[in-house]
Every structure is written in C-alpha cells, then in structure tokens.
Structure 1
Amino acid sequence: MPDVVIIGGGLMGMLSARELCLSGLQVTLLERGQTGQEASWAGGGILSPLYPWRYPDGVSALAAWSQARYEGLCQDLWRESGVDPEWTLSGLLMLGVAEELEARRWAERWKAVLEVFKGSDPRQWEGALGEGAGIAGLWMPEVAQVRPPRMVRALRQSLEKLGVEVLEGVKATGLLVRNQTITGVATQGASVAAERVVVAGGAWSGQILTESGIHLPVEPVQGQMILFRGQPGLLSKMIMGRGYYLIPRRDGHILAGSTLEYTGFDKSTTAEASKELREAAYTLVPALKSLPVVHQWAGLRPSSPKGIPYIGEHPAIKGLYVNAGHFRNGVVTAPASACLLRDILLERTSSLDPAPYVFPCSPSSRSNSKERREV
C-alpha cells in the first residue's frame, strides 16, 4: 500500500509527488488521461503573475518563493531526465499600465525589481514593438519563463527515475472514507488503498470532490492560445499589453495568449478567438503578420474565488489533502505549492505560512461527505 495517493497528473500533482517521494514516502499518482496534457501543457510558462499587484498576498508569497528556486529546479529536472525545461530569463515588459503607484508599492513589499517608464517610446526596450503598443509601462527584468510541455515531460521522466508509481488512464471515481478518515480511492477499476490522499486535479478538482459529496469552489476557465513560427531574434522579451501577452521561445516560435472564457469543461477552439489573438499580437508586434500561425489550442484553468489556491488538509476528513485552485498562476506557484503541501502532510514547520490556503470550511465540507466502504 502506498503512503500517499495523488489524484491528478499535471504539474501540481507531479511536483507534489516528487517532493513527497524525495521525503521518503512511497507515492502512487493517478491520472485520468496522460500526465501533463491538460492546463499544465497548455500554459504560457511566464514565471510571474500577470499584473502581480492585483493579486492577494497569498499568491505573491507562493510566486516569490518559487521564483527564487525555479532555475535550480529546472537544472535538477534536466539532469534527472535529459529534458531541458528551457528556463529562460527573458524579462517581462508590460505596456499601457497606469497603476504605477500600486506596482511600486507591490515591488517594494516583495523586493521585486521593477522599472517604470512613461512618455517614452517603448521600442527603445524592444525594437519589434509597434507604434500602437502603448507609451507607459513597466519593465521587470528578473521575470523568467519555462516551456511547459518540456517542463512536464522532464517531470514525468524524473518521477520514473525516482520510483513513483504513475498510473495513466485511471480515473478516480470517488474517495473511500470510513469514520471520517480516508482509506483510499475508488477508480473505474480496482480501488487503491491509502491513508493519505491528495487531490491535485486542476480544473477537475472540484468535480472530483463533489462526486464524494465534498464542496470545493474550483471551476474551469478556458484559455485559448496561438503559436507563430518564426526565427530566433525577432522578439527577445516577453510582452504584456491590453490584457494579452507574447512569449518568445528559444527556437523562434512566439506564443500569443490568451482568452478568458467561462465555457465549463469545453476545450474547443474557435475562429473568433484566433482572430482576437492575432489582432492583439499584430498590434503589439506588427512583424508577426508575416509569420504563419502553426497551432491553436485551449486549456482549462482551475479557477478559485479569489485566485488563491487551496493547499492543506480537509478540516473534517483525516488524511484528505488538496492542492488546487491556482487559476492563472499554476506554473509560477507550483514549486512553492508542492513544498507547502509536503510540509503540511508531513507535519513539518514550513517557511511558507499555510493560513491563506486552508480548505474552505463550510457546512457542506464538514458534514455532507459520503462515506464509502472498501470492497
């Protein structure tokens, strides 16, 4: 019997599995499809919240902790797997930002390097920018990026090397609970016994818990993106403008994103979204008009009411933990979230304050959980 079963094989689930395994626990990870193929694969990989001063402190704390350690984590994963997650210090240039005072206060509190510019041509910062890109903005030189498809592939191979049992194509259908204590996970096949279960199912986390009568306010929010194929050198910095972003990859591809759509679990792409993203990209960098769009896709972000994830143990069911609800900041906050979850589960003192991320304590979360007996 494993020490811990983790439901969900995205970035959050795999990083949690890695941290727990490195701490000496035997871990089994269940993934309904293939590991790393949902929002973790689809994300842009900017290692900062977009307009970070607009988020609660709980998000900033996770992001700051992760940013300081991301390069080292990527080096470890590269060494373990042979796959380079492409951690790249691109910097983030945000255009048309009027919240100078809020941004400065945020930067001072979190010791972030931030430069304000206004009334000057932003093309002195990035030559490919168009005239309509905006004349006021912020420059954050210490913001890096990773390439999520490579990041999750490196993680998957790392887990194999560490000996984590990864079961793909295995859908969790319910939690096994006896006397308000976790005893395992029911699946479409055989049940998996365990005294500790972590739900890290991304946008599906609320649904997974609802099937066991437990309420967690995490719902899907769709984001569509497109990818331009180009040559390295057209764009050197990540660009944010008018709510859209451009991310240059090392091989010359440029990712443009993203939409924000409340469509349930629908991941369909649309021509309307493609047009919206192309027009936004052309406004920021006119030279993109000459590049082909080679791919369009959609991912489902795990939205929580204030964008603060839930990390910790259920208040009434012993052995049930959750690591979900990161909304648009899953990639940047994942290392901190996984380490905080590890510390809570192992009852260690953490360098991160767990208070902002406690499981929502409502009547439904305390008393309506359906007990299922093992078979």
Structure 2
Amino acid sequence: MPDVIVVGGGVVGLLTAWTLGQASAEVVLLERGETGREASWAGGGIVSPLYPWRYSDAVANLAHWSQDFYPSLGERLLADTGLDPEVHVTGLYWLDLDDQERALAWAAANQRPLQAVDIDALYDAVPVLGRSFQRAVYMPGVANVRNPRLAKSLREALVRLPNVQVCEQVQVQSFLSEGERVAGVRTGAGEFRAGRVVLAAGAWSGELLASLGLELPVAPVKGQMILYRCAADFLPSMVLAKGRYAIPRRDGHILVGSTLEHTGFDKTPSSEALASLRASAQELIPELAGLEPVQHWAGLRPGSPEGIPFIGEVPGFRGLWLNTGHYRNGLVLAPASCQLLADLMQGGKTIIDPRPYAPEGRLVATPLS
C-alpha cells in the first residue's frame, strides 16, 4: 500500500508528488484527464503575483520562497529529465499604477528590489512599448516559466522515480473512510488505498470535499489568453498595465492575458474576450495590431478567498490533506506550498508559519444529501 495518494495532476499535484517522492515516500498520483492540462497549462507562468503588494503576507511569504527556488528547480528538472521548463528571467515593468507609492513602500518594507523608472529609460529598455504610458516601476530578476513544459518535465521526473506511480484518465469519485480516517479513494478504475490522501485538484477540489459534507470555498474562475509569434528578441521584458500583461518566451512567442470570468466550469473561448485581449495587446505593444494571434484558449483557476491556498490536514478527517485554492498564483506559489505540505506531513520544521493556510476554521460543514 502506498504512503500517499495525490489527487490532481496539475503543477501543484505534480510538485506535491515530486517533493514527497524525493523524501522517499511511496506515492500514487491520480489525474482525471492528462497531467498539466488544466489551469497549469493555461496560465501565463509569471513567477510573481501580478500585484504582490495587494496581497496578504500569507501569499507574499509563499511567493518569496518560491521565487528564490524556481531557478534551481528549472536546472534540476532539466538535468534529471532533459526537458527544459524554460525559467526565463526578464524582469517585470508595471505601468501607470494607481498605487505606485504603496508598491514602493511595500518593496522597501519587504526588501524587494522594486524601483521607480524614468519613463525615457523605460522606452529605451522596451522600444516596442506603446507611448501612452507615463510612469513605471521595475523589478529585476522576475522570471516566467513555460508552464506546459514545466508540467511535462515534472511528469517525466515522476515517471523516473521508482517510488512514484502516475495514473492518468482515473477520475476520483469519492473518499474511502474508516471511522474518522480517510483511507483512500473510489475511482472509475476501482479503489485506491493509502496511508494518507492529498487533495490537489484545483477548481474541482470543492466537488470532491462535498462528498464528505464539507464546503470548500474554492470556485472556478475562467481566464482567457492569446498568443502571438514574434522574433526572439522582440520583447525584452514582461510588461503589465491595467491588469493585463505581455509575457515573452525565449523563442519569441508572446502571451497576452488574461480575463477574470465567473462562468462555472465553462472554459469555452469567446469572441468578446478575444477582442478585449487584442485591444490590450495593441495598447501595450502597438506592433501587435498587424498580427493575428496564433492561439486563443481558456482555463479555470481555483478561486479562493483572498487567494490564500488551503494547505494542511482536514479537521475531523484524519489522513486527508489539502493543497489547493491557489487562485491566480498556482505557478508562483507551488514550490513553497508543496514544501510546506511535505514539512507538515513529515512532522518537521516548516519553511514558513503554516497557520494562515490551515483548513481548520476555513471549511464549512454541510448536510449530506
């Protein structure tokens, strides 16, 4: 019998299994479709919250740890698997912020290298940027990761571990209980039992917890993106204005996103969103007006209150652990979230204070039908 079942094969689930597997746990990962094909595939991959000073310390503490960890993670995965997740350090410019002074004060208080930039220096650094912007702040060292490649490299790393089993096309239907203990899961492919179960199913986590009479305040939030193909050196840095961003990949592809839509589990791309994203792209980078996007897609984020994930054991259900609800910051927070979860499960010293993420007091009991 394995030590741990991980439910969900997005980046959080994959990295949970990898972190526990590296610590010699016997792990089975169950994914209802293909690994890394939901929010982890659809997101932009900026290794920073979009506006870090607008989040609580709970989010910032996870983000800071993960940002420092990502370069070494990328190098480790490339060395172990031959698949490069492309951790691409470009820095990030925020343009025409309404709360620029707050951002700079946050940076000073948290010793983060955010600074105001002369507008002429901005246009020298990013010549293709639209000329309507008046102010900018810049943080060097901010990276983006090519999230589909990160998911592929993590999956390959798991496949190469003899103590980890990856099972795709296996949909978890409910949990197996023995008294107050969760002892495994029921799936369309039969029962799986383990010493502990980790629920890391993103936007679908709430549906599974409901089978235990628990309400998890995590709901799907749709986000749509578009992709352009440009020269490799066309956009030297990430840029963000009015909640929309442009992200350069190493090969010249540029992602522009993203929408925030509360439409349940529908992830159909819409013409309205396409028009809105194209307008944002052209405002940020006027030369994109003459190009057709080469791709347009949508994904579902696991929206949670204040974007604070749920990390820890579920009260009253011994053996059931959560690592879910990362909202817009799944890629950013994943390394720290998974290390924190592993620390808690192993009973050792934790990388940061775990209390803000604990499920206790954040879940609501509901009558079972």
Question: How far does residue 125 in structure 1 lie from its aligned partner after superposition?
Answer: 3.0
Q: In structure 1, what is the Cα distance between the partners aligned to 2:73 and 2:363?
A: 39
Q: For 1:105-135, what per-residue CA distance to the aligned partner results, in whole angstroms no more than 9, with x for missing partners?
A: 2212322101113665731331101112x11
Ranges of 4+ aligned residues in structure 1 off by more than 3 Å: 117-122, 362-365, 367-370
Correspondence for 2:149: 150
2:105 is equivalent to residue 105 of structure 1: yes
**Unpaired runs of at least 5, structure 2:** none
Name the residue aligned to 2:294: 294
Q: 1:102 offset after TM fit, Å? A: 1.4
Q: Kindly tell me: are residues 92 and 119 of structure 1, through their superposed partners in 2, closer, same or farther at Cα, counting changes over 3 Å?
A: closer
* Distance of 1:362 and 1:331 partners within structure 2: 23
Distance 1:176 1:185 in 2: 5
Is residue 2:93 matched to residue 1:93? Answer: yes
Deviation at 1:179, TM superposition (A): 1.4
Cα distance between partner residues in 2 of 1:121 and 1:105: 22
Aligned to 1:230: 230
Whether the 8 Å CA contact 1:120–1:136 is kept in 2: the answer is no
Where 1:68 maps in the other structure, the secondary structure is helix
TM-score (norm 2): 0.97
**CA distance change for structure 1 residues 364 and 327 in 2, over 3 Å: closer, same or farther?**
closer
2:134 is aligned with 1:162: no
Residue 244 (structure 1) aligns with:
244
CA distance in 2, matches of 1:3, 1:285: 50
Matches within 5 A, 1:39-54: 39-54=39-54
| Partner in structure 2 of residue 139 of structure 1 | 138
1:201-240 Cα deviation digits (max 9, x unpaired):
0111111111332221111000000000111111110010
CA 1:157/1:369 → structure 2, altered by over 3 Å: closer, same or farther?
farther
Counterpart CA distance in 2 for 1:210 and 1:109 is 41
Aligned-residue offset at 1:293: 0.8
Deviation at 1:363, TM superposition (A): 7.6
Secondary structure at the aligned position of 1:342 is classed as helix
**SS of aligned partner of 2:338:** helix
- 2:330 maps to 330
Verify the 8 A CA contact 2:215 2:363 in the aligned structure 1: no
Secondary structure at the counterpart of residue 214 of structure 2:
coil
Q: Map of 1:11-26 to 2, 5 A cutoff?
A: 11-26=11-26
Asked whether the equivalents of residues 216 and 360 of structure 1 are also in contact (C-alpha less than 8 Å), the reply is no
Contact 2:119 2:136 in 1 (8 A): no
Distance 1:241 1:364, change over 3 A: closer
Say yes or no: does 1:173 pair with 2:173: yes
**Alpha-carbon distance between aligned partners in 2 of 1:233 and 1:33, rounded to the nearest angstrom:** 36
Question: Contact between 1:228 and 1:292, CA under 8 Å: does it hold in 2?
Answer: yes
Q: Report how far residue 161 of structure 1 moved.
A: 0.6
Q: Distance in 2 between matches of 1:363 and 1:235?
A: 44
1:291: how far off?
2.4
Residue matched to 1:10: 10
* 2:28–2:166 CA contact under 8 A, matched in 1: yes
1:115 aligns with 2:119: no
Name the aligned partner's letter for residue 136 of structure 1: R
Deviation larger for 18-27 or 120-129: 120-129
Question: Quick check: 2:32–2:172 contact (8 Å CA) kept in 1?
Answer: yes
My pick for the range that moved more, 43-52 or 92-101, is: 92-101
- 1:343 alignment partner AA: D
Alpha-carbon distance in 2 for matches of 1:112, 1:187: 45
1:98 and 1:136 in contact (8 A); partners too: no
1:286-325 CA distances to partner (integer Å, 9 max, x unpaired)? 0112223110000100000111000000111111100000
Structure 1: gaps spanning 5 or more residues: 371-375
In structure 1, distance between residues paired with 2:159 and 2:74:
17
Name the SS for the 1:293 alignment partner. Answer: coil
1:191 partner SS:
strand
Partner of 2:304: 304
Query: Are the counterparts in 1 of residues 197 and 319 from structure 2 also a CA contact under 8 Å?
Result: yes
Q: Give the stretch that moved more between structures: 161-170 or 115-124.
A: 115-124
CA contact (8 A) 1:230 1:291 kept: no
- Give, in whole Å, the separation in 1 of the partners of 2:244 and 2:70: 24
Structure 2: how far apart are the matches of 1:97 and 1:292? 29
Aligned to 2:354: 354
Q: Which residue number in structure 2 is paired with residue 187 of structure 1?
A: 187
Q: Name 1:62's counterpart in structure 2.
A: 62
Deviation at 1:327, TM superposition (A): 0.4
Match for residue 257 of structure 2?
257
- What amino acid does structure 1 have at the position aligned with 2:252? G
| Counterpart for residue 281 of structure 2 | 281
Aligned residues: 368
Alpha-carbon separation, structure 2, partners of 1:369 and 1:339: 33
Could you list the per-position Cα deviations for residues 254-311 of structure 1 after superposition, in whole angstroms to 9, with x for gaps in the alignment?
1000000000000000111111000111011001122231100001000001110000
Paired amino acid for 2:327: F
Which TM-score applies when normalising by structure 1? 0.95
